[in-house]
C-alpha cells in the first residue's frame, strides 16, 4: 500500500514593503535612464558592429533597435549596469546571425526557375532529326557505324578507336571519312 506524505505547512505570505521595492530596483540592474544614456553614447558603434555582419543599413538599424528593446525588456536580469553595453553587443551579434540565417533559408526555399524548355514544335523537329540520323546510321556499313559511334558518340580518339576495334589507325580514318560522307548524302535525301 502506497504511503502518502503529508503536505508541507504553508508559509505565511510576505507583504513587500516600500523599502524592499527600492532595494529590488537598485539590485535589478540597469534603469531606463541608464539605458537611454547608453543609447545616446553607443548607438553608432552598435550600428557599426551590425554593419560588419549585415549588408544593408535598414537591417542594421532594425537589429540595433531590436537589441535595445530586448535589453530594455530584460533590464532586471542585467545586475551590473557596467555590463549593459556588453549585453547589447552580444544581442546585436545574435540578432545579426539570426537575420542572416533567415535570409539563407529564404534563398534556399525560393522556387528555382525552370530551365529553358524547348517548345513542343522544336522537340518534334529534334525527334525527327534524331530518327533520321538513326535511320542513316543503320544504312552505313558495320565498320563505318562502329568507327563513327566510338569516335563521335563515345568521344574516343582515333588511336583509342583503332585499339578498341583491333584495326589500324589508317583504317579508322578511312572508315570515318567514308561514313561521314555517306551520312551527309543520307541526311540530305528526303525520306
**Where do the domains of the chain lie, and which CATH numbers do they carry?**
28-106+128-188 (1.10.10.10)
User: What is the SS3 assignment for 57-70?
Assistant: HHHHHHHHHHHHHH
C-alpha cell at 180: 561521314
Given a contact cutoff of 8 angstroms between Cβ atoms, the answer to whether 172 and 165 are in contact is yes
Map grid coordinates 517548345 to a residue.
Answer: 119
pLDDT tens-digit series, residues 44-99: 999 988 888 888 889 999 999 999 899 888 877 777 778 888 889 999 999 999 99
Written as one string, the DSSP assignment of 5-54 is PPPPPPPPPPPPPHHHHHHHHHHT---HHHHHHHHHHHHHHHHHHHHHH-
Share of the chain above pLDDT 90, in %: 30
Would you state the pLDDT for residue 28? 44
Amino acid at each position: 500500500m502506497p504511503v502518502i506524505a503529508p503536505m508541507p505547512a504553508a508559509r505565511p505570505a510576505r507583504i513587500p514593503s516600500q523599502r524592499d521595492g527600492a532595494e529590488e530596483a537598485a539590485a535589478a540592474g540597469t534603469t531606463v535612464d541608464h539605458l537611454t544614456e547608453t543609447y545616446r553614447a553607443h548607438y553608432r558603434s552598435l550600428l557599426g558592429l551590425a554593419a560588419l555582419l549585415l549588408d544593408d543599413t535598414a537591417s542594421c538599424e532594425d537589429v540595433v533597435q531590436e537589441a535595445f528593446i530586448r535589453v530594455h525588456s530584460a533590464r532586471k536580469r542585467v545586475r551590473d549596469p557596467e555590463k549593459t553595453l556588453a549585453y547589447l553587443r552580444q544581442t546585436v551579434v545574435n540578432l545579426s546571425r539570426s537575420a542572416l540565417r533567415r535570409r539563407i533559408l529564404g534563398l534556399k526555399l525560393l522556387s528555382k526557375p525552370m530551365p529553358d524548355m524547348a517548345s513542343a514544335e522544336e522537340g518534334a523537329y529534334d525527334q525527327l532529326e534524331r530518327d533520321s540520323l538513326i535511320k542513316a546510321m543503320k544504312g552505313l556499313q558495320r565498320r563505318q557505324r562502329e568507327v563513327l559511334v566510338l569516335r563521335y558518340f563515345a568521344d574516343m580518339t582515333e588511336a583509342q578507336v583503332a585499339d578498341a576495334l583491333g584495326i589500324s589507325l589508317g583504317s579508322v580514318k578511312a572508315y570515318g571519312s567514308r561514313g561521314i560522307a555517306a551520312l551527309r548524302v543520307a541526311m540530305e535525301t528526303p525520306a
